[in-house]
Structure 1
Amino acid sequence: MDVPVTDQKNPFWMLKGGHEAPGWGPLEQDARAQKLEVVLFDRDAWALVRAAAPPTQYEGLVPMEPPAGLYLDNQGRNVYIADGKQVAGPRDVLASLGEPAQELLRKLGDPDIVLERLGRAY
């Protein structure tokens, strides 16, 4: 199930942190209060958010530009990201990764499996 992303004007940020990082609680509160858009959330490792600037206020969560790939939460919702933008599907992500990814796609045939093999499934 693809996740609709409503805030197209702001960039994506990936917040990474351990399960016990103190910033998860405030992040959830801000999401409920609609202070920022949390697109996907996997408390064991990361959150994918949209915000005008890197969200640095969450203790223990490090903001970074999200690498190209498939982002999948524990409820089966997904978003494909390439070059910092949401794209339609796995083939678009693979196109952004260049010829080695295309070669692997020709060998394996399934673009999602290729993303997983390349370590691009989060």
Structure 2
Amino acid sequence: MSRLWLLRGALTAPGWQVLQADQEAEKVDIVHLDPPVWALVRAVEPPAGYEGLEATEPRDGLYLDPNGGPMYLVGGRSVAGPMDVIHALGSEAQSLLEIVGDPDIVLDRLGRVF
């Protein structure tokens, strides 16, 4: 079963160009991107072969593309919204939500906006 993987690397990493070429050739499924800072890629196994880019499991939180488009993730999967992330983060996030009232602000204060 496929899941999301976070690819990160230096701005000058040659793997970004290879990743872009693979996306255009439909060899890889990039589902969310903040080029060239990070890319969320759907795959069964961690994507490899992109020099200078490291594939890791993405942290639970909110991922914003350069246009402000949101993607909420929990456990490497896309979820409907911020409340799903708050619930997954547990009591600290839920307590902060009671004080702040806005789940996106809670995610930001917890360092979960990427």
Q: TM-score, normalised by structure 2?
A: 0.95
Q: Following superposition, which runs of at least 4 residues in structure 1 exceed 3 angstroms of deviation?
A: none
SS of the residue aligned with 2:7? strand
TM-score, scaled relative to structure 1: 0.89
Map of 1:66 onto structure 2: 58
Paired residue secondary structure (1:100): helix
Deviations 1:87-113 (A, max 9, x none): 100010010000000001111011011
Partner of 1:23: 15
Unaligned runs of 5+ residues in structure 1 are 1-8
The share of aligned pairs that are identical, in percent, is: 51
Report the equivalent of 1:82.
74
1-structure distance, mates of 2:93, 2:41: 26
Measured on the aligned residues, the alpha-carbon RMSD in Å equals 1.0
Which residue is equivalent to 2:101? 109
Aligned with residue 47 of structure 1, among 31, 39, 53:
39
Say how many residue pairs are matched: 114
Distance 2:77 2:41 in 1: 12
What is the aligned partner in structure 1 of residue 29 from structure 2?
37
Which range is displaced more, 90-99 or 9-18? Answer: 9-18
Q: Which structure is higher in strand share?
A: 2
In 2, Cα distance between the equivalents of 1:21 and 1:30? 15
CA distance in 2, matches of 1:37, 1:44: 16
Give, as a single letter, the amino acid of the residue that structure 2 aligns with 1:64: T
Alpha-carbon distance in structure 2 between the residues aligned to 1:64 and 1:27: 15
